[in-house]
Amino acid sequence: MAVRIAPLSLDDHDAVLELWRRARLTDHTNLRDSRASFARQLRRNKGLYLGAFDGDRLVGTVLGTHDTRKGWINRLAVDPAYQRRGVGTRLLRACETALVRKGMKVISAFVMEGNEPSLNLFRRSGYEPALGAVHMRKKLEPDA
């Protein structure tokens, strides 16, 4: 298996949503996961939205973002048929490298309690618990 890591493009959008469903990450397809929003994000996060490809088949994703203070790892996911072969770790490393090139010295991720595969991956990749219990809140705009 020669899985390569490469930037995602808008043409990958359908495959990205399908991959997230297969990996049981999310079945969202609207708001920030809509095609139009994905296109905007790709423009603003050049080189940070990465895919793992086996030939033409998308088998993993990571969406790197930063808010100028801190880098964020989002939507790290690997096709179940490709898990446990180091693809998630490679995606994470590639995204970290791209974020560091953009000047980020701190990189963070939110991981749901109980997601042991992800918690283990981040622990093995050098991430430490940053806070105690975090209560995350979100608010949607009325037209969302």
Ligand X SMILES: CC(C)(COP(=O)(O)OP(=O)(O)OC[C@H]1O[C@@H](n2cnc3c(N)ncnc32)[C@H](O)[C@@H]1OP(=O)(O)O)[C@@H](O)C(=O)NCCC(=O)NCCS
Interaction between residue 3 and ligand X (CB under 6 A):
no
Interaction between residue 84 and ligand X (CB under 6 A):
yes
Instruction: Give the C-alpha separation, 144 to 142, whole Å.
Output: 6
Closest approach of Cβ 71 to ligand X, in Å?
A: 15
Contact window for ligand X (CB under 6 A) among 29-37, 63-71, 86-94, 136-144: 86-94
Give the residue with the Cβ less far from ligand X, 27 or 143.
Answer: 27
Contact window for ligand X (CB under 6 A) among 1-9, 31-39, 77-85, 134-142: 77-85
Instruction: Give the C-alpha separation, 103 to 69, whole Å.
Output: 9
The token pair that represents 32 in the structure block:
């920030």
Taking a C-beta distance cutoff of 8 angstroms, is the pair 16, 8 a contact?
Answer: yes
Instruction: Give the C-alpha separation, 65 to 74, whole Å.
Output: 8
Among positions 33-52, residues that touch ligand X (CB under 6 A) are none
Interaction between residue 77 and ligand X (CB under 6 A):
yes
Find the distance separating the first CA and the last CA of the chain, reported in whole Å. 41
Closest approach of Cβ 19 to ligand X, in Å?
A: 9
Closest approach of Cβ 142 to ligand X, in Å?
A: 29
Which own/partner contact pairs does 30-37 have at CB distance under 8 Å and 24+ positions apart? 31/140, 31/144, 35/10
Q: Which residues are near ligand X by CB under 6 A?
A: 23-25, 76-78, 83-89, 109, 111, 115-118, 120-121, 124
